[in-house]
Structure 1
């Protein structure tokens, strides 16, 4: 049996999102599917665009620049999301290229992004990344640090729309997604970026507005 085509994989993920949203009495239209195209070239990305996918996620600014400058000329309505960690010295490039930045995780990055936005006039939507499991190896502010980081971001006029997290691996993600949702409600933030290929249906059921899906759309990385 041959591997499913890109349009088939996209339709399968969309159907799974629709089922999870329906069970939670949510509209599937309230969930943005971000196709995480890191490590994949234009030849893998183009079939998904041609099948109707319009939101794509990249982990690194330099990799995104190398492939999306040309693709966006061909498909100007594609929206790009930065889902990986961002170095402060890349803030200007990120603001120029991306429409949404999911990984704002520290005060120094807030200041760098605010400066870049003021200089360029572009104001990508921003998510604050929360280290929801308080894991030492992961980026993000702790839940206890969130209020302070959010105050800094709002004072700097960053367009913060929500929170992002990556729950601990090999643990049930639902409690961590629920905690992120509670934090977002506490701080009047409407959007939740949570859920990847292995747990996006759970995330949708708990309130995700953005799910970041790579493997389920592109297949296993070689």
Structure 2
């Protein structure tokens, strides 16, 4: 418990400092604790320390953990940050408060059907493949306007953009690119930045940072 509280305080302090350097308010940045692969006993100390936003990669894993944790604590917000199969769209809409990985026409159609059926409307981010990497999810930059138009036609509100820069390179240009794309399309939210680079992301406009290792410790 003490370790979790100390790690949470360290990350929140770093976010506040980076926000201050960028003349932003720390309250503008939402910290998402990436709890994927961590079990309930590892998550509870962070909840006890006050963390309320958590990120998961897989619908099935989240469904096995979070109903119990949500029954114990009110105010939990759950974010899907991993790739989503269209056939899991309804399950995702039921479980998650935000989906950060919308990236193709078929998923937009599946999410629109799921939202209409369930009456739930999670916050939605389009993931953009800012590094043009074949192995990575996200739509091509050139396809973003079309996806935004398709979402609007389907009755889906897109709140922001998400990106994961290429590994082992300076992330700042990619964060700046996502910020510029969001600005160009009138989208208020930017989901970008992880344990190794969230301070840079905050200085370049991130509204949501997805932090795992810095909060949970290194994986074995």
**TM-score normalised by the shorter chain: which range applies?**
over 0.9
What residue is the counterpart of 2:116 in the other structure? Answer: 118
What residue is the counterpart of 2:126 in the other structure? Answer: 128
Q: Are the counterparts in 2 of residues 124 and 159 from structure 1 also a CA contact under 8 Å?
A: no
How far is the alpha carbon of 1:76 from its aligned partner? 2.4
How far is the alpha carbon of 1:158 from its aligned partner? 1.3
What residue is the counterpart of 1:103 in the other structure? Answer: 101
TM-score normalised by structure 1 residue count: 0.98
What residue is the counterpart of 1:10 in the other structure? Answer: 8
Q: Which whole-Å CA distance do the structure 2 matches of 1:148 and 1:102 have between them?
A: 18
| Count of matched residue positions in the alignment of Structure 1 and Structure 2 | 220
Q: Which whole-Å CA distance do the structure 1 matches of 2:131 and 2:15 have between them?
A: 25
Q: Indicate which of 150, 154, 173 corresponds to 1:152.
A: 150
Match of 2:78, SS state, is: strand
RMSD: 1.0
- Displaced runs of 4+ in structure 1, greater than 2 A? none
Match of 1:154, SS state, is: helix
What residue is the counterpart of 1:166 in the other structure? Answer: 164
Match of 2:159, SS state, is: strand
Q: Which whole-Å CA distance do the structure 1 matches of 2:57 and 2:74 have between them?
A: 20
- Most deviating of 20-29 and 150-159: 150-159
Stretches of structure 1 lacking an aligned partner (at least 5 in a row) = none
2:26 paired with 1:67: no
Stretches of structure 2 lacking an aligned partner (at least 5 in a row) = none
Q: Which whole-Å CA distance do the structure 2 matches of 1:185 and 1:170 have between them?
A: 26
What residue is the counterpart of 2:205 in the other structure? Answer: 207
TM-score normalised by structure 2 residue count: 0.98
Q: Which whole-Å CA distance do the structure 1 matches of 2:6 and 2:166 have between them?
A: 30
